[in-house]
Structure 1
Amino acid sequence: MASFTIEKRAKASGEFSYRCTVRVKESGEIIHRESKTFSKKDVARTWGKTRCDTIEHHGALNKHKVVPLGALLNLYFEDHDLWNKTGRTKRYVIKMLIDCDICKIKSDSLKTSDLIEHCKNRRAAGAGPATIYHDIAYLRSVMKKALPVWDITANYQIFEDAVPVLIEMGLVGKSQKRTRRPTENELEKLKDGLQARMDYRPNGITRIPFIDILDFSILTCMRIGEVCKLRWEDLNQDHKTILVRDRKDPRKKAGNHMIVPLLAGSFDIAKRQAENDVFIFPYNPKSVTAGFQRVRNELGIEDLRYHDLRREGASRLFEKGYSIEEVAQVTGHRNLNILWQVYTQLFPHKLHDKFAN
């Protein structure tokens, strides 16, 4: 039997919204739940009545097939149109989830208690709240595609009720803001170690110019994947700029090209690379970060990631007096709030330099 309830919710602006939740019970148990939020109560009531009538008279719940969540994740994995556009983190999480107990549950039967149990199991295995949140977010993402892509019923609406509970229980949460910047002494040690690594490379093995790439990464605030995809044909020598292709963006990556100024000595670093390839730095990004990590570990430098060099570069630009809009032109951030909050960590003692100049 289908029924609906309407919940009145207060917004931060002082206005109200109305969430209509439709539930279907069978033998006293809820077998289906869906909800939608509206700005007016009358509209919410109309939608609720319409959905209940559809379910009761047209058998909407029995129209589509049901599969275990593991089978649903496998369908996503095997669909090249979806999988090839999926980021590395999401791919890793989906592959991991396929082997979890939660994937034995039917796609239309997932309950909040199931998600709580999964999160507790992951926590017991050593995963933190931010990591576990990825499990929940990516599982929901796949389940939302179940009906339109594979004609499979999946009650992804359960996450709307479950996530606030998971947050309240401390099982999921946002990752902590990183504030790590390398000190000048650490950078000097890293360069010495990287130089020694370059000097001892056997003949015939590609020598990666680690120091040039490290300095270039800081000066341009580029991700290592972006650095290793820069093309000679995109270098504008007159303007000392370069086109960064397919720059990462939460909304769109493919075709998100951006002209970036090569400030300070970054242009000279690019120009002194050998022009024997279409790429300025024709190296595997994983090899670059692996060499960096080995030297870092040998030196005992703790909690420093290659991506922290991007924050270091942005922070240096702010310390030199560049505006947030100018820094965004270098880093590629469209959301200035994220740029300031995540990629900025100023050294307080640097503020004295403004009075010294």
Structure 2
Amino acid sequence: MGTITSRKRKDNSTAYTAQIRINRDGRTVYQESQTFDRKLAAQAWIKRRETELSEPGAIERANRNGVTIRRMIEQYLDEYEKIRPLGKTKNATLKAIKETWLGEINDSDLTSQKLVEFAQWRMSEKGGGVQAQTVGNDLAHLGAVLSVARPAWGYEVDPLAMPDARRVLRRLGMVSKSKERNRRPTLEELDKLMVHFFEMQTRRKAQINMPKIIAFAIFSTRRQEEITKIRWDDLDCARQAVLVRDMKNPGQKIGNDVWCHLPDEAWAIIQSMPKKEKEIFPYNGKSVSAAFTRACPLLGIEDLHFHDLRHEGVSRLFEMDWDIPRVSSVSGHRDWNSLRRYTHLRGMGDVYSKWSWLGVILTG
């Protein structure tokens, strides 16, 4: 049974402390107390808590030491990284979240209100001043952890906390999907890049062959991280195809190996590469990205990312009047919705049919 004791505060008001003590076999197995300003509130609390604690397993759950969000994330990164390695972005995001104040919250204390507060903090100057898309990504990655924390590890996570928080934040405009880019390089911009990188090669022969990399990215529609993984053993000469290993996919980033057709221009670029290493483009992917990123502002090219070359390649195939199945056989997309995001047409026909740089690239 619960008991209530009263005491006078310094301001002459009365405080009512409600206490619950549960004994089994002559020993106390659980006790809890809380202070109220009104006796009726203390009585109501005792009645509610005694009803809750009478449920099977309630005392055991109440006695357990809570686990923090930080520990949950660490367990997720440790266990799931062994089964299926996570993407770099998800890994980095979760590691950053666990170092914030949210990481110190216990599992049973995580509420939709706390998640909304975290989103608001992330968008504030103290939390990094991030955009709604980043908040959406943060919650999506954290949601993956919470979705397994209760059923897999038995942690006391409210299954409605995340969906309720996301519903509120959507209404407030504080979470959103990433904006679709429609940026494509112009031929003039590609001319600048080719001149720049050919000059770099003249000065330093050991440089990454960026002209071939850039052209191959366009004609093959391959991502930067995919290009540097391709091996000579991954080619199927009979089908003029390449096995793209670990192709990026929202549901499966590791072990998602896909055969993709290589258009004639991309195939010719591969055949022009020397067979000195097991990889066709034996370069460090980060170095390729860094070289491209440094060159663009130097040449006065604004807001162009290496990934935009894939947009260019996919859009080019549609401009050449290729149908969806044929384009997806090159790009590796599984459905029209994801393929549509890479399609920004400028007209019809192949603007690269008389591109003078292709011949230079093949002999360079």
User: Aligned residue for 1:36?
Assistant: none
Q: Give the drift of 1:306.
A: 0.4
- Residue aligning to 2:56: 57
**1:105 paired residue number:** 105
Counterpart-to-counterpart distance in 2, 1:199 and 1:55: 81
Deviations 1:35-69 (A, max 9, x none): xxxxxxxxxxxxxxxxx999923438448652121
The answer on 1:210 being equivalent to 2:201 is: no
Q: Select the structure of larger CA radius of gyration.
A: 2
Check conservation: 2:66, 2:107, Cα contact below 8 A. Answer: yes
The structure 2 residue matched to 1:175, chosen from 178, 192, 205, is 178
Quick check: 1:115–1:162 contact (8 Å CA) kept in 2? yes
Q: Distance in 1 between matches of 2:311 and 2:174?
A: 29
Is 1:187 matched up with 2:190? yes
1:244 aligns to what? Answer: 244
| Match of residue 161 from structure 1 | 164
2:134 is aligned to: 131
**2:121 maps to which residue?**
121
Question: For 1:63 and 1:156, how far apart are their aligned partners in 2?
Answer: 21
Q: What is the DSSP-based 3-state SS (H/G/I as helix, E as strand, rest coil) of the residue aligned with 2:55?
A: helix
For 1:242, what is the secondary structure of its paired residue?
Answer: strand
The code of the aligned residue for 2:195 comes to D
User: Whole-Å Cα distance in 2 between the matches of residues 53 and 84 of structure 1?
Assistant: 40
Residue 330 of structure 2: aligned partner: 330
One-letter amino acid of the counterpart of residue 74, structure 1: E
What aligned pairs does 1:1-357 form with structure 2 within 5 A after superposition? 27=45, 56-59=55-58, 61-62=61-62, 65-79=65-79, 81=81, 85-124=85-124, 125-201=128-204, 206-340=206-340, 342-347=341-346, 350-351=347-348
TM normalised by structure 2 equals: 0.76
Return the alpha-carbon distance in structure 2 between the equivalents of residues 353 and 265 of structure 1. 12
Residue-by-residue CA offset, 1:128-170 (whole Å, 9 max, x unaligned)? 0010111111112112222344332222421121111011111
Question: Using a 3 Å threshold, how does the CA distance of structure 1 residues 64 and 293 change in structure 2: closer, same or farther?
Answer: same
SS state of the match for residue 259, structure 1?
A: strand
**Amino acid of the residue matched to residue 129 of structure 2?**
G
Q: Structure 2 CA distance, aligned partners of 1:345 and 1:352?
A: 14
Segments of 5+ residues of structure 1 without an aligned counterpart are: 1-25, 32-51
Spell out, residue by residue over 1:7-37, the C-alpha distance to the aligned partner (whole angstroms, 9 max, x if none).
xxxxxxxxxxxxxxxxxxx949x99xxxxxx
Q: Deviations over 1:246-288 (max 9, x none)?
A: 3222233444322222213111110111111111111111111
Q: What is the TM-score of this pair, normalised by structure 1?
A: 0.77
Equivalent-residue separation in structure 2 for 1:94 and 1:161 (angstroms):
20
- State the 1:244 CA deviation: 1.8
d(CA) in 1 for partners of 2:166, 2:154 = 25
Kept after mapping to 1: 8 A contact 2:320/2:350: no
Moved more, 81-90 or 161-170: 81-90
Per the TM alignment, residue 78 of structure 1 is displaced from its structure 2 partner at its CA by: 3.5
For the residues of structure 1 that align with 2:91 and 2:111, how far apart are their CA atoms? 24
Contact 1:325 1:336 in 2 (8 A): no
Which residue is equivalent to 1:17? Answer: none
- Partner Cα separation in structure 2 for residue 136 and residue 234 of structure 1: 37
The alignment of Structure 1 onto Structure 2 pairs a total of residues equal to: 302
Contact 2:84 2:254 in 1 (8 A): no
Contact 1:314 1:327 in 2 (8 A): yes
Task: Give the aligned partner of residue 3 of structure 1.
Answer: none
In the TM superposition, residue 322 of structure 1 has moved relative to its aligned partner by: 0.1
- More off after superposition, 66-75 vs 93-102: 66-75
Compared CA separation, residues 184 and 242, structure 1 to 2 (3 A): same
Change in CA separation of 1:133 and 1:241 when aligned onto 2, cut-off 3 Å: same
CA distance in 2, matches of 1:54, 1:271: 73
SS in 2 for 1:108: helix
Secondary structure of the corresponding residue to residue 165 of structure 1: helix
Work out whether residues 119 and 132 of structure 1, in 8 Å CA contact, stay in contact via their aligned partners in 2: yes
What CA distance in whole angstroms lies between the structure 2 residues aligned with 1:137 and 1:119?
Answer: 12
Post-superposition shift, 1:231? 1.2
C-alpha distance in structure 1 between counterparts of 2:329 and 2:349, whole Å: 26
Change (3 A) 1:345 1:64: farther
* Identity across the alignment (%): 33
- The secondary structure found in structure 1 opposite 2:107 is coil
Distance 1:247 1:273 in 2: 23
